Amino acid sequence: MEYQHITPEDIFSNAEVHAYIQCGNDCLGAIGFTEHGFAHSKRSSDGARDILKALNFPQRTCELAAIAGYLHDIGNTVNRADHAHSGALMAFTLLNKLGMPPGEIAAVCSAIGHHDEKTAYPVNPIAAALILSDKSDVRRTRVRKDAVLDNDIHDRVNYAVENAKLQIDRENGTCIFHITIETQICPVMEYFEIFLDRMVLCNKAAKVLGLQFELIINQVRLL
């Protein structure tokens, strides 16, 4: 069998991928979750690629991270529960049909299957980069227009974020997540209430990449 060199751009423009991301985001909107559509997919993709690029990983590894990042939430089409696992299976079917080599499919599917904090573990550099990129996408624009902030802590936390940036410093061996929160909307403790497990996971992911993870909220280091 002649395998194909599938690029991130091939995935970005794929109609099947487009349909899955749109449907998954619509499903989450119907049950009141924050945005998991094209903006989150592209940010996760770009972030995962940029993290590995900053650490001088091979170009193809960076491309596979970008592909995993863009596809990581397509399992929401099936259900939010276990979406990482169903998404990995959906990605396998898609990438296999496109002719991607099995080793590359395995790397992408492993990363997708290990990105949700309930069952996640940074099993390889691609998974580690995806975890860091996905979990650091916290922003006001992820809150849907019909959200009632008083009713949902996830919406409240995301809406309170004024700025969030993940900084990779290869020379000093650090991965620093800088975040600025409007505390009148959401106290810092509410951030920890829903994101502590994610930050612990980010710490594990950073270690896989040989980095020390640091969390700085409102210019105060907390991890």
Domains and CATH numbers, the chain: 8-221 (1.10.3210)
Please, which pLDDT band fits residue 151 given cuts at 50, 70 and 90? confident
- Could you write out the DSSP letters of every residue in 4-16? ----HHHHHT-HH
Q: Rounded to whole angstroms, how far apart are CA atoms 26 and 161?
A: 23
**CA 120 vs CA 23, 86, 130, 205, 222: distances in Å:** 23, 14, 11, 10, 23
pLDDT at 136 over 80: yes
| DSSP symbol at 180 | E
The half-sphere exposure of 205 on its side-chain side, counting CA atoms within 13 A, is 34
**φ and ψ at 142, to 5 degrees?**
-85, -15
Residue 146 has what pLDDT?
84
The model's pTM:
0.96
pLDDT at 178 over 90: yes
Please, which pLDDT band fits residue 122 given cuts at 50, 70 and 90? very high
CB 187 within 8 A of CB 195: no
What pLDDT digit, counting tens, does each position of 27-75 carry? Answer: 999 998 999 999 999 999 999 999 999 999 999 999 999 999 999 999 9
Please, which pLDDT band fits residue 108 given cuts at 50, 70 and 90? very high
CB 119 within 8 A of CB 131: no
